[in-house]
Amino acid sequence: MTLSKRLRPPSFVAAHAGALCLAICVAMGGVAWAADEAPNSKGSKGSKDSKGSKDSKGSQASKDSTATRMPPETEIAYYYDYVHHMVARPIARQLDLGRAVRRLSGRPREAVNVDSLDQVRLPSTWWTPRLGYRPVSVEQMLRGPGPGTGPAPGKLSVTRVKTQGVTPGFFIKDSEGTGFLLKFDPPGLAEMATGADAITTYLYWAAGYNVPDNTILTFTVDDLEVAKGAQLTDTQGKKHVMTRDDLVGILAKLTAGADGRYRALASRLLEGKPIGPFEYSGRRRSDPEDLITHEHRRELRGMFPMAAWTNHADARSANSLDVWVKSGGRSFVRHYLIDFGSCLGSSAIAKRAYQTGTEYFFDYGVTGRQMGTLGLAPFAWEDAVDPDLPSVGYIESRGFDPAAWRPYCPNAAFDARTDRDLRWGARIVAAFTDDHIRAAVAQARFTDPRAVEYLARVMIERRDKIVERWLGPNDRTGALMTR
C-alpha cells in the first residue's frame, strides 16, 4: 500500500499520461531515427565522408545522372572494425527489440533490392549475373575481369614498395605502362597465399562480383628495375627514395624457387579512383546511388554461401574497395572485393588455424558453451585432419558445415541473411561445375600435383555440401542447370 502510494503520479501527469506517453514515443522515435541513421553513415565513418546533410539530398537515385560528384575518400579504423563487429554490434543486436519481434513473429526482414520473384533488381554496381543466372564457360571464367594475362613481357618497373607487414608489396608498371601490385607468399609457405588469391579471384568473378584481374607471375631479380623517383615506405610509414640495393635487399628476404625465380600475385590496378573500402553495414551516404543500407543488399547477404565455400573468413571492409569509375558516359562508384589471400587454406601470413570457419575470433556462443561445460564440449574443428600440403594451407571438407560456417568476425550483411538470401547464393555456388573448379585451381600453378588434386576435391565436396544444405538434394539437378 505504501509502495503504491509512493508510485502514484502527480495529478497532472496522471491526467495527461496518455498524451505524455505518445509524446515521449514520438520524441524517442525521432531520436532513434536519427541515431539509427548514424550507424548507416558508417560508410563514411571517421572520414571526410561524414557531412550527412548534403548526402541526404541525393536520396533520389537518378538513373540517367552523369554528372555526380566523386564521393570523398573514406578510411576504416581496422582495429576498431574488429571491436565494433565482435563486441559492440553483437551486443546491440541481442538488445534489438525490433529484431526480437521479427524473430518471434517469424518474419525476418528480407533483402530490399529484390523483386517480386526474389531476384536482385538490376542493374547493380555490386554484382553482375553470371554463374547460376547465366551460362559462363570455363574459358570465360578464366578471362575473368580481363585480360587475365598478367604484366606484358619486358622489364617491370618498380614504382613503390611497402615493407610493412609479413611480406612486402611492390607497385610496378609493365612495359606497356600498366600498373600492377605484386604480392608475395609468407616465408615457408610458398605458393599458398598467392595461389589462394588467384583461385578465389576467378571464383568470385564467375559468381558475379567485381574483382581485380589477378594472375600468378614469376620473375627474376633482373626482370625488375627501379623506376625514377620510386619510393620505399619503411616500417614507420616514412617514404624514402628507393635504390637498386634496396630492391635487392627486399627480394633477398623472400624465398625464390629452385630456378631462382620469385613468385608473386600480379594484381592489375583497378581503373578509376579508389575512394576507400565499403562496409557491410550502413551505406556511403555521399554516394547518391547508394541508397540501400548494405545489410539489406541481396548481393552481400547472399554472398554467405560463396564465403563459406571459399573459406573467405576475412570477408570484411578491409578487403573491399569502392572505385570511382567513368564508364558508359557517366561517373559512378563501383564496388569491388579485393585481397583474397586470406581464403581457402591460407590466412595470408600463415596457414589457416583449425578454428577458422567454425568460430569467430571471439565467439559468444562457443565461449558460453565452453564455460557451461567447463571446456568439455568438443570444438567443431577438433576432428580436423591437416592435409600437410604447404601450398594449400589448411582447408578441408569432411567437417565442413555450411550453415555453421563463420568468418573471423561477424559480418553485418551475413548476420542479416535469411533463407532466401542463402538459396540465392547457394544457387551460384551450385552452378560451378567440376570443370570450373578444376580450372580455377589450376590458375594457382601449384608445383605439387597433390595440392591441385586435394584442393579441387575439397572444393567440389564443399560445393556439394552447400547445394545439399540450402537447395536440397532433390533440387540439385535443377540448381546445377549450367553444368
Partner 1 sequence: MTRLSPARSHRRGRIGIVAALLGWLVFVAAPGRSLAQAPPGDAPDSLANVAPDSVASPAPAPEPVGNTVASTDDLAPTSAAPWNPSRAVGFHETWEQALNAPLTLASLPIRLLGAGLEAGILREQEDRWIPRVMFFFGVGTPLGIYLRPAQLGERSGMGAGVEYRPPQLHGWLRAGIDASTRGYNTTRVELGPRLAALRYEQAWRPREPYFGEGMDSREEDASSYATSSQLAEVRLRLRRGTTWRREIGAWAGERRLVASHGREAKRSSLEIVHPGVAPQALGVDQDHIVTGLRLALDTRSGRPHWSRGWRVAAQAERFGYPPSDGGLLFHGAAASPGFTRATLEGESGISLMRDPRTLRLVVRVVDTRPFDESRPPTIVDEVRLGGGEGLGGFASGRFHGSDLALARLAYIFPLGQFSEIEMSTERGGVFPNVWRGARLDQSEQSYGVALRVRTERAPLGAVRVNWSHEAVRLGLSVGGIE
Residues 337-366 that bind partner 1 (CB under 8 A): 353, 355, 359-363, 366
Among residues 209, 286, 277, the alpha carbon closest in space to that of 40 is found at 286
* Among 220, 367, 434, 450, interactor with partner 1 by CB under 8 A: 367
> Which helix (H) or strand (E) is 26 found in, with range?
helix 17-40
Nearer to partner 1 by Cβ, of 17 and 260: the residue is 17
299 forms part of the interface with partner 1 (CB under 8 A):
no
Binders of partner 1 among 427-456, rule CB under 8 A? 427
Element (H, E) at 371: helix 364-372
**Nearest C-alpha neighbor of 448 from the set 400, 387, 396:** 387
Tell me which residues in 374-403 interact with partner 1 (CB under 8 A).
374-376, 378-379, 382
Interface residue with partner 1, options 423, 436, 462, 463 (CB under 8 A): 423
Q: Does 121 bind partner 1 (CB under 8 A)?
A: yes
Binding part of the chain for partner 1, among 40-48, 194-202, 312-320, 447-455 by CB under 8 A, reads: 40-48
Positions 148 through 207 that interact with partner 1 (CB under 8 A):
none
| Candidate segments 150-158, 185-193, 256-264, 415-423, binder of partner 1 by CB under 8 A | 415-423
CB of 266 to partner 1, least distance (A): 20
Number of residues that make up the chain:
483
Q: Smallest gap, in angstroms, from Cβ of residue 263 to partner 1?
A: 26
- Calculate the CA 234 to chain-centre distance: 28
Confirm or reject binding of residue 249 to partner 1 (CB under 8 A).
no
Query: Most distant CA pair in the chain: distance in Å?
Result: 93
Closest to partner 1 by CB, 448 vs 475, is 475
Cell numbers at 28, concatenated? 524517442
Distance (Å, rounded) from C-alpha 292 to C-alpha 113? 8
Residue 397 or 418: which CB sits closer to partner 1? 418
Site for partner 1 contains 258 (CB under 8 A): no
3-state DSSP call for residue 246? helix
Cβ of residue 368: shortest distance to partner 1, in angstroms?
Answer: 9
Q: How far is the CB of 366 from partner 1 (least distance, A)?
A: 5
Cα 62 versus chain centre, distance: 27
**Is residue 81 within 8 Å of 318, Cβ to Cβ?**
yes
Report the DSSP beta bridge partners of residue 156.
224
Q: Between 159 and 293, name the residue whose CB sits nearer to partner 1.
A: 293
Q: Which is nearer to partner 1, 70 or 291 (CB)?
A: 291
Q: How many CB atoms lie within 10 A of CB 232?
A: 21
Binder to partner 1 among 19, 67, 104, 252 (CB under 8 A)? Answer: 19
Residue 227: Cβ within 10 Å count: 17
Which residues are 183's β-sheet partners?
A: 169, 265
Radius of gyration, CA atoms only, the chain? 25
H helix intervals, 45-169 = 52-57, 78-83, 89-94, 97-105, 138-143
The reply to whether 404 sits near partner 1 by the rule CB under 8 A is: no
Among 138, 292, 442, 460, which residue sits at the site for partner 1 (rule: CB under 8 A)?
292
Return the number of the residue (119 or 220) whose C-beta is nearest partner 1. 119
The phi and psi torsions of 13 (rounded to 5 degrees) equal: -65, -40
68-107 footprint of partner 1 as x/- string (CB under 8 A)? -------xxxxxx--xx---x---x--xxxxx-x----x-
Q: Which stretch binds partner 1 (CB under 8 A): 152-160, 212-220, 285-293, 390-398?
A: 285-293
Pick from 306, 428, 410: nearest CA to 91: 410
Among residues 112 and 241, whose Cβ is nearest to partner 1?
112
CB neighbour burial string for 434-448, b if at least 16 within 10 angstroms, e if fewer: eebbbbbbebbbbee
- CB 284 → partner 1: shortest distance, Å? 11
